[in-house]
Amino acid sequence: MPSKKDGELYSAAYDGRLPDVQRLLTDGASPNVKPRGKAQALAIAAANGHVEVLKVFVRAGAKLEATDENGWTALMDAAFTLENTCASAMTCPNRPSMPGVAGPHRPRLKE
């Protein structure tokens, strides 16, 4: 069962609140938090274009191969929403940042 910190982490990832994500992970929240019936926090950050948040999850050990109920990974979510910078951060983590490379704005995934 997810802890209160895990729930806060999920919300922070959705909103792209980098300082909160960093603090919650340091305080013991799981980088693989995935509330029942929802996507993994990593996937929500990726699909919403929160590149720096996504990088923190990757460094904290988030499982990139984890899937949601539909079999989608965070990389698939990022590609589907045209968040190319997030997709690159997962596939080439040592590649320099490329501002402005992300695709056109897409609606955020629902929490």
Query: What is the structure's pLDDT at 23?
Result: 96
pLDDT in single tens digits along all 111 residues of the chain: 567 888 899 899 999 999 999 999 999 999 998 877 778 888 888 888 898 998 899 899 999 888 888 888 888 877 777 656 666 666 655 544 444 434 444 444 555
* pTM tops 0.75: no
- State the amino acid at position 74 in one-letter form: A
User: 10 Å Cβ neighbour count for 67?
Assistant: 15
85 and 50 in contact (C-beta within 8 Å)?
A: no
Q: What is the DSSP string of 37-92?
A: TS--HHHHHHHTT-HHHHHHHHHTT--TT---TTS--HHHHHHHTT-HHHHHHHH-
Query: What is the structure's pLDDT at 95?
Result: 47
46-68 pLDDT per residue, tens: 888 898 998 899 899 999 888 88
- With tokens 């609606």, the residue in question is 107
